[in-house]
Amino acid sequence: MSGLGSKIFKIAKNGKYRIGYERMVKFNKDDINLYIKKFDQLKKDKIIIEGEFHDNKWVFLGKQRIAYFYFTNEVNYDLNLAFKMYILLKTHDEYIDPRSILFHAFAIKFIIKKTKLLSLNCYDNFKDDLEGIKHTYMREYVVVFGRKFLCFYDSEKYKELIDILLTYRTLHIRSNSRQLPEFKSIILFDSIIEDLIDSCSRFEKEKYFPILLWWSITKSIPMRPIEFSELETNCIRINDDKYLLSIPKCKKGSRVNRAMEPEYREVQITEELYKMINEFIDINDPLRAEKYLLNYDIYNNATQSLKTHSSQVLYEFRENVGGTGRFYSLLSSFYIDIIEGKYKYKTVSVQESMKSDEGEIYVERIRPGDTRHFAICNLYLQGFNPLTIARLAGHETLNTQLGYARHLNTFADSQVEVLTNRILMLKTLGNVIDHENIKSLYKKSLFFNKSEYPTARQVEDGFCVDENFPNNCIIGNCSTPCEYFRIDTKDKKYTSEFLLEKSNTFDGDIKNQIQIIKNMVRNSVLNKSKLAKNRNISIQEQQEIGVASKKLQQAIVQKAMIDSYIFERKRVEQDDQ
């Protein structure tokens, strides 16, 4: 076989540390004994729990689930052998979880089948075969993982097919950014959870406590689903009057390595959340006998299901771990029983929501991985610096956050919409000034009633309510932006067109501040290396991110308030006609 081969990230052990380095590997059937040794080592480590090297079925024990790999005699010997060697490389050398390698296997089998054992005559129709894959993410698996396998097998012989995959990815797969539910669905889901915590029956609480816990923890703390599912029973503690949560550091796809000490990160939580976790433990494991907070027995009791062979194996080998799969099943049940059954809301997927009729009320189904994005975006909007967010999220570099930052524009727009509707509702009730949640926002809002500010001074396009005017003035346009600038709501010269222009100005401010935040993350000096525990963001960077976040919040509040008055002004103008 010829060609450069496939690049793999080899991980070696040195005491309690992992040492990683890249190297090129290509298929050579003369290396079979080396791969048999890898296979035997995986069996010894109880990663492979069933099958022999030359068998057509291998059973792997993943981090939380069983993975089955099937091979066929219909494929020629070399291709079949390369397939097996590739799987062993990914598992043994790169420490990738077997369940994740199933996606590699899907890609390889798809290409082999559609090209009739990599036949050159079938290449022309292969693009159509790619288009026939229903889900975009599965299509990308074929393009990315299939290309890696072909480079390993024979990059020179199959260069044309590799080029087809590369070209397809460039033209058709532009972004792997996660599609998130609309913010109003998030708000509605949150309100349902809050109401359920206060009013649920004993049966509902016992069955769906893991869902309540998941939402309460992960909406504010960036966690991967696998990290949530592997929280340990002793994950909470009190130290110096601080409530702390210990989170296992594990990324989707990483292999369980029992020879290594697990890594954890500790974050501060509220007393309320601490008590909630403690209550969950008291109900489900009062003796603190189980290792995992969300163990298999909890899900088994919730669903009254019988243990399958797969779950029995996990029970024996993985200390009764519950796993993400069972949590997904419980969440699906929650949407049916609680969101639809109890609260009478229709639930739809993100894709289905795009096809829904305008004005239709529904809840977009939030997936376990979505909350990590929510939490990171909210931390940015609250003004946390990138290093703090990186440590809370378990990121090794600041650049990792750029993928999450893509959602900031959507989150900011949604915050404006939700805040606008809340202001309108409270105005209708006549208590906008007295309502605690809006009071501080209203005080800094663009609008006021002139009679409430007898000392207000008229300036260009409005008034200044600063009692120390002009001592605090900054040279420039008062309205762009100044916390003391106000518009008199009773002045009829402020038409809908004038207000819309102001709204667009604040919309531009929002987008500008978000771009500034993204640039700060991208250009931070800390991106030059992995984040060490003793590294700190510079004082200057902290100040800059703080200023940008404050300006972003101000612009969001101002736009929300002005949009509420646009709505009211239009209604008044319609009544006058």
* Average pLDDT in the chain: 79
Reply yes or no on whether the pLDDT at 394 is more than 50. yes
Give the residue-averaged pLDDT of 439-447.
Answer: 48
Reply yes or no on whether the pLDDT at 497 is more than 90. no
Query: Tell me, what's the pLDDT at 8?
Result: 66
Q: Which residue has the higher pLDDT, 543 or 108?
A: 108
Domain residue ranges of the chain, discontinuous segments joined by +: 6-172, 201-368, 408-449+489-576
Give the residue-averaged pLDDT of 101-119.
Answer: 93
Would you place residue 433 in the very low, low, confident or very high pLDDT band (cuts 50, 70, 90)?
A: very low
Would you place residue 389 in the very low, low, confident or very high pLDDT band (cuts 50, 70, 90)?
A: confident
Give the residue-averaged pLDDT of 108-120.
Answer: 92
Alpha helix positions (H), 20-116: 32-44, 77-88, 98-114
Give the residue-averaged pLDDT of 8-28.
Answer: 65
Would you place residue 518 in the very low, low, confident or very high pLDDT band (cuts 50, 70, 90)?
A: confident
Q: What one-letter code names the amino acid at 515?
A: Q
Query: Tell me, what's the pLDDT at 43?
Result: 95
Q: What is the 3-state secondary structure (H, E, C) of 504-526?
A: HHHHHHHHHHHHHHHHHHHHCHH
Q: ∠ CA 231-270-196 to the nearest 5 degrees?
A: 80
Chain center to CA of 286: 32
CA distance 345 to 361: 7
Give the residue-averaged pLDDT of 438-445.
Answer: 46
Phi-psi region at 304: left, alpha or beta (left = phi > 0; alpha = psi -120 to 50): left
Would you place residue 218 in the very low, low, confident or very high pLDDT band (cuts 50, 70, 90)?
A: very high
- Give the number of other Cβ atoms within 10 Å of residue 282's Cβ: 10
Q: Which residue has the higher pLDDT, 280 or 362?
A: 280
Query: Tell me, what's the pLDDT at 552?
Result: 84
* Both structure tokens of 88: 């062993």
Specify whether the CB–CB gap between 292 and 231 falls below 8 A: yes
Would you place residue 544 in the very low, low, confident or very high pLDDT band (cuts 50, 70, 90)?
A: confident
Query: Tell me, what's the pLDDT at 444?
Result: 47
Query: Tell me, what's the pLDDT at 7?
Result: 64
Would you place residue 1 in the very low, low, confident or very high pLDDT band (cuts 50, 70, 90)?
A: very low
CA distance 149 to 145: 6
Please state, for a pLDDT cut of 70, what percent of the chain lies above it. 73
Query: Tell me, what's the pLDDT at 59?
Result: 94
CA distances from 20 to 101, 256, 564 (A): 19, 16, 55
pLDDT one-digit tens code per residue, 2-12: 455 666 655 55
Specify whether the CB–CB gap between 115 and 97 falls below 8 A: no
Specify whether the CB–CB gap between 398 and 521 falls below 8 A: yes
Give the residue-averaged pLDDT of 110-120.
Answer: 92
Would you place residue 301 in the very low, low, confident or very high pLDDT band (cuts 50, 70, 90)?
A: confident
CA distance 507 to 500: 10
Query: Tell me, what's the pLDDT at 239?
Result: 94
Tell me the range of 169-183, 246-260, 285-299 where mean pLDDT is highest. 285-299
Give the residue-averaged pLDDT of 364-377.
Answer: 90
CA distances from 193 to 102, 200, 377 (A): 35, 10, 20
Q: Which residue has the higher pLDDT, 474 or 468?
A: 468
Query: Tell me, what's the pLDDT at 81?
Result: 96
Q: Which residue has the higher pLDDT, 377 or 337?
A: 337
* Residue length of the chain: 577
Reply yes or no on whether the pLDDT at 436 is more than 50. no
Q: Which residue has the higher pLDDT, 328 or 308?
A: 328
Query: Tell me, what's the pLDDT at 401?
Result: 67
Q: Which residue has the higher pLDDT, 208 or 124?
A: 208
Query: Tell me, what's the pLDDT at 243?
Result: 94
Reply yes or no on whether the pLDDT at 374 is more than 70. yes
Query: Tell me, what's the pLDDT at 306?
Result: 44
Specify whether the CB–CB gap between 463 and 456 falls below 8 A: yes
Measured on CA atoms in the order 147, 150, 154, 159, is the torsion positive or negative?
negative
**DSSP run (H or E) holding 559:** helix 539-576
Give the residue-averaged pLDDT of 12-26.
Answer: 62
Reply yes or no on whether the pLDDT at 19 is more than 60. no
CA-closest candidate to residue 562, choices 510, 512, 513, 489: 489
CA-closest candidate to residue 83, choices 59, 53, 60: 53
Radius of gyration of the chain (CA): 28
Reply yes or no on whether the pLDDT at 240 is more than 80. yes
Peptide bond into 454 cis (omega under 30): no
CA distance 539 to 546: 10
Alpha helix positions (H), 200-253: 202-218, 225-229
CA-closest candidate to residue 520, choices 369, 408, 415: 408
Sheet strands side by side (includes 57-61): 48-50, 57-61, 66-70
Give the residue-averaged pLDDT of 16-27.
Answer: 68
Reply yes or no on whether the pLDDT at 161 is more than 80. yes
Give the residue-averaged pLDDT of 333-341.
Answer: 95
* Both structure tokens of 92: 């043994």
Give the residue-averaged pLDDT of 363-383.
Answer: 86
Q: What is the 3-state secondary structure (H, E, C) of 292-345?
A: ECCEHHHHHHHHCCCCCHHHHHHHHHCCCECCHHHHHHHHHHHHHHHHHHHCCC
Q: Which residue has the higher pLDDT, 310 or 474?
A: 474
Query: Tell me, what's the pLDDT at 318?
Result: 56
User: Among 28-32, 42-46, 252-256, 382-386, which stretch is predicted with the lowest mean pLDDT?
Assistant: 252-256
